[in-house]
Structure 1
Amino acid sequence: MENKLINEFGPFVANTHTETTVSGTAMTMAYHQARKIIKKHVNANAEDILINDGTGMTGVVNKFQRILGLKVPENLKNCFEIPAEKRPIVFISHMEHHSNQTTWLETIADVIVVPACEKGLFCLDTFASLLEEYKERNVKIASVTACSNVTGIKTPYHEIAKLMHQNNGVCFVDFACSGPYVKIDMHPEDSEAYLDAIFLSPHKFLGGPGTSGVLIFNKKLYKNMVPDNPGGGTVSWTNPWGEHKYLDNIEDREDGGTPGFLQVIKTALAIQLKEEMGVENILKREHEIVDLVFNQLKPISNLNILAGEHQDRLGVISFYIDDLHFNLGVKILNDRFGIQTRGGCSCAGTYGHYLLHVDEEKSHELTSKIDSGDLILKPGWIRMSIHPT
């Protein structure tokens, strides 16, 4: 992939806003072809809009929230007061990455974490009850992860989407964790189970570091006359008297400035590599390795696998060892044995409360110490991410 970028695309690098030269035309064609590859991979249709931005899911979910008109600048928040019944309601799972939680908390919406069921999984029954409770809200959004980045446990996101559509809502799914390994289908056979928007972090794909975030959403959600990022490439014309006209095409209008065309091309190449490997082969190998790791770790008496009762998962296994700080465990595994792991809460502190059974009193006790600069007792774990290669 790197050689292809350097030797095949590199010599033709030129601004994609011009097609009057061979290099400009070649790069523009490559850029548009890459975008087609991305959309086809997730079964997007003609009504779906693709936007590439930032460095991953975090950048595009923030951009999407601005496009939806859900964010007010912090210095202006006191100028607005939205009655509770007029606020959008956003439902998230208990397993979210901070990027799909804190970003919504900074919008004008009310955010509800759907409590887990007794088995620690997403509870569709509880979710249905919450939808009934908030049925009067005009704007109802479910924004859920496809898979936990802590435990590899999946959510029933197509069933969630179906419930949302039956209740006049929309469903957004974060594929940052599972995207490199699973089939992504925005428009399954069940016509009620379609996904209104998805987020991807292609840098997590094999060959993907250096790519940009991917946002794909149904254009019916777009109500704007002004792009989120006005600038070069977004207007049909301007004049000296302050008049201007933005492009009608949404994808062009929201692609201000010189686009990250190499990042998008690299995303398409990473997707093609995933398709060449085959999702079935990827998942088969992941399950083999997960079973192997579980069989080796479970007999260790002082090692605790988070959500260890759920072995049906993608290749993410998090654990803690009694009387050993997680960061020390990570350092020993990585620096002594060459086993790459990560310590901390994996940017999923809310899920950590469920996994480590932290109640409200204990949580406030811990956060008080953290706020004072004492991090020694901050909970965490060792995360091992398994790759099919």
Structure 2
Amino acid sequence: MNSAQIRKLFPILDQEVNGHPLVYLDSAASSQKPISVIEAVKHYYEHDNANVHRGVHTLGSRATDAYEGARSKVARFINAKRSEEIVFTRGTTTSLNLVASSYARANCKEGDEIVITPMEHHSNLIPWQQVAKATGATLKYIPLQPDGTILLSDVEQVITDRTKVVSVTHVSNVLGVINPVKQIGEIAHRHGAIMVVDGAQSTPHMKVDVQDLDCDFFAFSGHKMCAPTGIGALYGKKALLNNMEPIEFGGEMIDEVGLYDSTWKEVPYRFEGGTPIIAGAVGLGAAIDFLQEIGMDEIEQHEKQLSAYAYERLSEIEGITLYGPTKDRSGLVTFNLGEVHPHDVATVLDAEGIAIRAGHHCCQPLMRWLEASSTARASLYLYNTEEDVDRLVKGLIQTKEYFGYAIG
């Protein structure tokens, strides 16, 4: 199935925006949803809607089977050893905050170190800032090379025996850098630290094997991989999860409750207090089915080819600045067009039916490192084509004309 055929499976893409066929190039922010995912959520609400785990009636049993079935699908999708290592959350942000608030605050103290990079999304930066402030630990950064990549020799220098947590994005949402998280994790483990991976930008686009990566925690969001918003997952090694305290308290996550004390359920349920995101989990399971039917290897190969084509075509535009490595990058291209503000670029492109992202992409420290207040970003997915890239290039040339710049 080629990308043009895949595109037809996404109803939202079959529309015009401002009189032009829609070109959606903002999947790094949120992907579109195929009809199979939409129908799965619709079917749940029309036929199986009930709370999970608590009831013995038929609808409750169906809902529980669907919810736990989705957990098993997630475990298989990222090759976790067991489904108990999958905690459903609202997404990557919640997952990373859970690790920071539950594991790190209990295991870090003054003099310890937390190691991250300047390319991290705010979701993988601010929680560690807060842990450092609360515990007295020191926050350290792995330096970036001029193209935004990381050298393992620098990792070796930054991580020490005082390091307790290393948390790195698998794929940068700005630079398109694919980080060597497996090798970084090996270095972290040699020093007795845990390895946390932000998989928000990798899980939708490539095969993820948490056992091969040997990471201790891995976080990702459903809405970036064809699933509904508001659902995501945290993978954690069971031994670590078993020693962590919940950070939300209420129904569903308890074992015994007394007037003055309570005990918690086994993992993962102790971390899923309250009525869970049942329909979202159903949608995530359907999204995994959809992606696996197409094939993650095929998706990754398509995006690599399309990303290379996009980088080549955009580099032909005079006055454009492209950020990140020239090769071995994920399916996005971040850029600035001369002195035109990225918001103006995005506004002109939107008038042509082309949706991109403009701003700091929740990466303000990285923007300062790039010496740019903001950037424009075109992000690609399985439903994008070379024609989409050509429309983007044409739109950028029109943007230059509109703002009076010479055409390259």
- In the TM superposition, residue 289 of structure 1 has moved relative to its aligned partner by 1.7
Contact 2:75–2:83, Cα closer than 8 Å, also in 1: no
Rate the CA distance shift 1:253–1:271 in 2: closer, same or farther, 3 A: same
* Matched residue, 2:177: 153
Q: Which residue of 2 aligns with 1:172?
A: 196
SS in 2 for 1:147: coil
Q: CA distance change for structure 1 residues 119 and 8 in 2, over 3 Å: closer, same or farther?
A: closer
1:305 corresponds to: 322
d(CA) in 2 for partners of 1:11, 1:290: 41
Name the CA distance, whole Å, in 1 between partners of 2:261 and 2:101. 24
Amino acid at match of 2:87: I
Tell me if 1:29 matches 2:77: no
Coordinate RMSD, CA, aligned: 2.2
Residue identity opposite 1:98 in structure 2: H
Q: Does 1:228 align with 2:247?
A: yes
Q: CA 1:71–1:380 in 2, change beyond 3 Å: closer, same or farther?
A: farther
Q: Which runs of 5+ in 2 are unaligned?
A: 1-36, 384-408
Q: For 1:129, give the aligned amino acid.
A: Q
Tell me the distance in 2 between the aligned counterparts of 1:123 and 1:19. Answer: 53
1:84-163 superposed matches below 5 A: 84-85=110-111, 87=112, 89-107=113-131, 108=135, 109-131=137-159, 134-135=160-161, 137=162, 140-163=164-187
Q: What is residue 236 of structure 2 aligned with on the other side?
A: 217
**Could you tell me whether the CA contact under 8 Å between 2:147 and 2:323 is conserved in 1?**
no
Letter paired with 1:37: K
Distance in 2, Cα, partners of 1:8 & 1:120: 44
Alignment match, 2:16? none
* 174-183 vs 226-235, greater mean Cα deviation: 226-235
* In 2, Cα distance between equivalents of 1:229 and 1:8: 27
1:194 maps onto 2:214 in alignment: yes
Residue 242 of structure 1 corresponds to 260
Cα deviation, residue 3, structure 1:
1.7
The superposition leaves residues 217-236 of structure 1 with CA deviations (integer Å, 9 ceiling, x where unpaired) of 11222365853222112223
Counterpart for residue 78 of structure 1: none
Deviation at 1:52, TM superposition (A): 1.4
Normalising by structure 1, we get a TM-score of 0.82
Q: How far off its partner does 1:124 sit?
A: 0.7
CA apart distance, 1:47: 8.7
**For this pair of structures, how many residues does the alignment match?**
343
Separation of aligned partners in 2, 1:94 and 1:236 = 41
Alignment of 1:40-79 (within 5 A): 40-46=76-82, 49-54=85-90, 56-68=91-103, 70=105
What amino acid sits opposite 1:230 in the alignment?
F
- Identify if the C-alpha distance between structure 1 residues 298 and 235 changes in structure 2 by more than 3 Å, giving closer, same or farther: closer
SS at match of 1:250: coil
Residues 41, 280 of structure 2: 8 Å contact kept: no
Name the stretch that deviates more: 283-292 or 172-181: 283-292
Letter of the aligned partner of 1:113 in structure 2?
Y
**1:368 matched to which residue of 2?**
none
Q: Tell me: higher relative CO, structure 1 or 2? Use CA pairs within 8 A at least 6 residues apart.
A: 2
Note if contact 2:103-2:244 (Cα within 8 Å) is conserved in structure 1: no
* Partner SS, residue 210 of structure 2: coil
| Amino acid across the alignment from 1:146 | H
Q: Give 1:296-335 correspondences, 5 Å limit.
A: 296-307=313-324, 309-334=325-350
Percentage of matched positions with identical amino acids: 25
What SS is found at the alignment partner of 2:168? Answer: strand
Mean CA deviation greater in 251-260 or 3-12? 3-12
Runs of 4+ in structure 1 displaced over 4 angstroms? 223-226
State which of 302, 308, 314 in structure 2 corresponds to 1:291: 308
CA separation of 1:226 and 1:94: change in aligned 2, threshold 3 A: closer
Instruction: Tell me if 1:275 matches 2:299.
Output: no
Paired with 1:164 and 1:48, the residues of 2 have a C-alpha distance of 25
Q: SS of the counterpart of 1:387?
A: coil
Secondary structure in 2 matching 1:68: helix
Aligned-pair CA distance for 1:211: 3.9
Q: What TM-score do the two structures reach when normalised by structure 2?
A: 0.79
Contact 2:142–2:154 (CA under 8 A) maintained in structure 1: yes
Q: 1:6 to 1:118 in 2, by over 3 A?
A: closer
Q: Which amino acid letter does the alignment assign opposite residue 82 of structure 2? A: A
Which amino acid is 1:341 matched to?
I
